């Protein structure tokens, strides 16, 4: 018996040694493996509506798509997490053309992990995608090449410049950068410990695991380009780095190619410092590149400014717990409530002392780790604290001073120098599954969102707060008012900010200033005037969807690939439109003095127009008689809301309400609460947000000049 036990122990020890060796071999790229690349794109084009050259139209696209060439996507898509397999830019092309039927899209893998080999493959795949688009003047789809520049520092606010997508108008040979530009030498996932990479590979087959380790090794070993060398003089086989936006712009200037730099995710507390303030980024804002702002994605809605703090500092420099607002409760406040509820006598001095001790410990730990100071507290005990509530699909761990409304209201940078943004607003997906435009139907949460909760396993989340996994949604879209379907018409619409964002539906929206100095002008325009501005907004709801996929998708992809790539569902419009519920107008009067409080400058629902219930659309005209009397700049945009319908994480808190409408119990869409096959549907109103129309008063100085 003893001999058998010894032999068994030796066998187990040997297996452990082999497994450990395999873990290190995978993580170090020594397990064999090799490169992989995109397969040929599926032949196109799909049937497209051909319109006369120069005819105005609204086109829908997605300017934020990741594949396994983004190293975080590679990890997320492993069998241990989402189990979707290896996906490449060619898969993204096929999905955009046949599953989501987009008019345009872009590839935006993280430059920090891209190698020369995969960048070349990315460019080749985009070129092939465009080569299959049919007539260049009437293509079924336009594909743009680009990358994501990701500068993230969750601890050091001054050095944090966030995430920005770079896209280019051209993709032809000689008209595309020979390498992407990263924000840093190494991306976080190139520094994942070798044993962890091996552990991630456990659920994969040996070849896929080996290939993953090989790619991570290839990325780690890509040399950094020499600094202060013109971009066209650098070799093709190095990783180019721009540590700040200013350096990125200088390098783009050297390429001298038409490009846009699109910030995104500004209000996400999962990837931003919770105390971040866009005022600190204004010295690195460049209007000629940063024309657009992604205000909605599959990671949530970043529109709203709510004036709250998580932890405050009093006049003596001591940490204090701030008061709650109508839509936000600091978790230090909720910690006090949890302790009070546990006290035998909530009114006793002993209870007061325990509350004071707990709140003090929370403040010292900080908002990300403070929950750990109370043992055995459930998510429902925390009652949605630390999250922006009563808002359409908000980003998790919301950072209010990075929101769209906040940065539009600023007139001065952190040094008090005049500085303003003039963004056009867009939506996109930020999808990590090579599935651009993944919002056409609210089905199949595993494929339609970036949620990492699979088969009841714990959610991968960027934050310690577990409920953040419930704040993943189907992606948004960017809509462009264009004079034609071709590349240059789309690019002109983007560059001129004649764009709007949607939360995923293809709602049709028009927003115009009727009495500008040169006549009527559309969303995204800038004018200078002294008379009362008058506006018109019109909207038509998106088409309702039919089940399944249209015949052209099945013919091109085949039934098996429709099932694997599209999840068996495609953009398949019926001929009836959804009703528009109402239109809300937002007015913002940007700062004319750096001491002005921002909250008072934002009229979140300045005007509200109810719409007919028959689905025929909605229109309204309005003016601002106060503009001439206050003699200061203003901007206006429209928020269009369709009738409520079941959406994936339509309510990320999963609230059960009492008769007064209060959330009395929460069921977050994470972990054991939400199996992989559950879509976590809750009623919510699909949104669209127009780009602002910027109206300056005659004679008033522009704060961005």
The helix (H) or strand (E) run that includes residue 209 is helix 206-221
With tokens 């209201």, the residue in question is 409
Confidence of residue 72 (pLDDT cuts 50, 70, 90): confident
With tokens 């869409």, the residue in question is 669
pLDDT at 507: 98
Distance, first Cα to last Cα, the chain: 86
> Rounded distance, CA 700 to CA 698, Å?
6
pLDDT at 159: 65
> Rounded distance, CA 472 to CA 463, Å?
13
Instruction: From residue 635, give the alpha-carbon distance in Å to each of 292, 427, 622.
Output: 15, 19, 14
Q: What SS3 class is residue 240?
A: strand
Which residues, other chains included, contact 131 with Cβ-Cβ below 8 Å and sequence gap of 6+? none
**Residue 397 contacts residue 386 (beta carbons within 8 Å):** yes
Say which CATH topology domain 56-306+394-439 has. Answer: TIM Barrel (3.20.20)
Domains of the chain, residue spans:
56-306+394-439, 312-382, 508-542+578-643+685-705, 544-575
**Residue 482 contacts residue 56 (beta carbons within 8 Å):** yes
**Residue 534 contacts residue 514 (beta carbons within 8 Å):** yes
Whether 454 shows a pLDDT value over 50: the answer reads no
Average pLDDT of the segment spanning 92-109: 98
**Residue 33 contacts residue 214 (beta carbons within 8 Å):** yes
> Rounded distance, CA 67 to CA 38, Å?
10
**Residue 530 contacts residue 697 (beta carbons within 8 Å):** yes
Average pLDDT of the segment spanning 451-460: 49
pLDDT at 156: 59
**Residue 299 contacts residue 322 (beta carbons within 8 Å):** no
Confidence of residue 54 (pLDDT cuts 50, 70, 90): low
C-alpha 564: how far from chain center: 24
DSSP state of 368: T
Read off the pTM: 0.93
Supply φ then ψ for residue 381, to 5 degrees. Answer: -60, -35
Instruction: Compute the mean pLDDT over every residue in the chain, rounded to the nearest whole number.
Output: 89
pLDDT at 589: 98
Q: What angle is formed at CA 507 by the lines to CA 502 and CA 511, rounded to 5 degrees? A: 85
Supply φ then ψ for residue 294, to 5 degrees. Answer: -80, 105
Name the CATH superfamily housing domain 508-542+578-643+685-705: Immunoglobulins (2.60.40.10)
Per-residue pLDDT tens digits for 381-401: 999 999 999 999 999 999 999
Number of H helices, E strands in the chain: 16, 31
pLDDT at 153: 59
pLDDT at 29: 66
DSSP state of 408: H
Better pLDDT: 28 or 627:
627
**Residue 234 contacts residue 179 (beta carbons within 8 Å):** yes
């Amino acid at each position: 018996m003893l001999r058998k036990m010894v032999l068994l122990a030796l066998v187990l020890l040997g297996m452990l040694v082999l497994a450990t060796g395999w873990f290190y071999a995978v993580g170090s790229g020594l397990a064999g493996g090799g490169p992989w690349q995109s397969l040929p794109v599926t032949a196109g084009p799909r049937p497209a509506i051909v319109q006369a050259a120069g005819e105005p139209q609204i086109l829908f696209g997605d300017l934020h798509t990741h594949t396994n060439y983004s190293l975080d996507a590679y990890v997320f898509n492993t069998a241990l997490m989402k189990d979707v397999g290896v996906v490449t830019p060619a898969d993204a092309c096929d999905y955009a053309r046949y599953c989501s039927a987009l008019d345009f899209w872009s590839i935006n893998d993280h430059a920090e992990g891209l190698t020369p080999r995969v960048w070349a493959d990315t460019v080749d795949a985009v070129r092939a995608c465009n080569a299959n688009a049919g007539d260049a003047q009437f293509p079924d789809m336009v594909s743009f090449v680009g990358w994501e520049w990701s500068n993230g520092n969750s601890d050091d606010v001054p050095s944090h410049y966030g995430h920005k997508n770079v896209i280019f108008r051209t993709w032809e040979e000689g008209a595309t950068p020979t390498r992407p530009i990263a924000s840093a030498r190494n991306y976080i996932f190139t520094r994942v410990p070798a044993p962890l990479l091996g552990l991630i590979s456990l659920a994969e087959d040996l070849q896929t695991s080996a290939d993953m380790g090989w790619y991570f090794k290839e990325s780690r070993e890509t040399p950094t380009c020499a600094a202060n060398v013109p971009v066209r003089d650098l070799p093709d086989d190095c990783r180019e780095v721009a540590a700040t936006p200013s350096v990125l712009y200088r390098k783009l200037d050297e390429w001298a190619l038409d490009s846009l730099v699109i910030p995104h995710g500004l209000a996400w507390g999962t990837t931003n410092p919770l105390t971040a303030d866009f005022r600190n980024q204004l010295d690195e804002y460049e209007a000629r590149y940063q024309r657009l702002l992604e205000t909605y994605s599959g990671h949530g809605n970043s529109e709203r400014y709510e004036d709250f703090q998580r932890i405050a500092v009093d006049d003596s420099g001591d940490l204090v717990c701030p008061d709650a607002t109508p839509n936000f409760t600091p978790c230090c406040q909720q910690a006090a409530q949890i302790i009070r509820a546990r006290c035998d006598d909530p009114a006793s001095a002993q209870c007061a002392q325990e509350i004071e001790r707990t709140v003090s410990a929370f403040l010292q730990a900080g908002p990300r780790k403070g929950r750990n100071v109370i043992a055995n507290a459930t998510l429902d005990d925390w009652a949605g604290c630390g999250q922006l509530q009563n808002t359409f699909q908000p980003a998790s761990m919301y950072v209010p001073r990075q929101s769209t409304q906040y940065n539009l209201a600023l007139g001065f940078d952190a040094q008090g120098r005049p500085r303003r943004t003039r963004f056009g607003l867009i939506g996109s997906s930020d999808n990590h599954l090579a599935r651009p435009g993944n919002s056409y139907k609210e089905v199949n949460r595993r494929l339609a969102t970036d949620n990492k909760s699979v088969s009841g396993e714990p959610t991968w989340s960027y934050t310690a707060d577990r409920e953040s996994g419930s704040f993943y949604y189907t992606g948004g879209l960017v809509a462009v008012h264009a004079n034609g379907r071709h590349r240059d018409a789309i690019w002109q619409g983007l560059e001129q900010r004649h764009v709007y964002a949607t939360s995923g539906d293809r709602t049709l929206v028009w927003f115009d200033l009727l009495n500008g100095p040169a006549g009527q002008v559309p969303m995204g325009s800038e004018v200078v005037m002294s008379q009362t501005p008058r506006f018109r907004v019109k909207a038509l709801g998106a088409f309702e969807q039919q089940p399944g996929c249209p015949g052209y998708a099945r013919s091109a992809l085949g039934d098996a690939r429709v099932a694997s790539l599209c999840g068996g569902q495609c953009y398949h419009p019926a001929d009836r439109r959804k009703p528009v519920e109402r239109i809300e107008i937002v007015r913002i009067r940007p700062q004319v003095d750096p001491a002005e409080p921002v909250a008072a400058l934002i009229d979140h629902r300045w005007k509200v127009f109810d719409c007919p219930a028959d689905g025929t659309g909605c229109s309204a005209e309005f003016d601002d008689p106060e503009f001439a009397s206050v003699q200061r700049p203003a901007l206006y945009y429209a928020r269009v809301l369709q009738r409520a319908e079941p959406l994936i994480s339509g309510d990320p808190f999963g609230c059960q309400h009492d008769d007064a409408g209060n959330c009395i119990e929460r069921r977050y869409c994470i972990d054991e609460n939400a199996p992989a096959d559950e879509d976590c549907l809750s009623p919510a109103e699909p949104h669209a947000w127009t780009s602002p129309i910027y109206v300056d008063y005659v004679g008033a100085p522009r704060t961005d000049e």
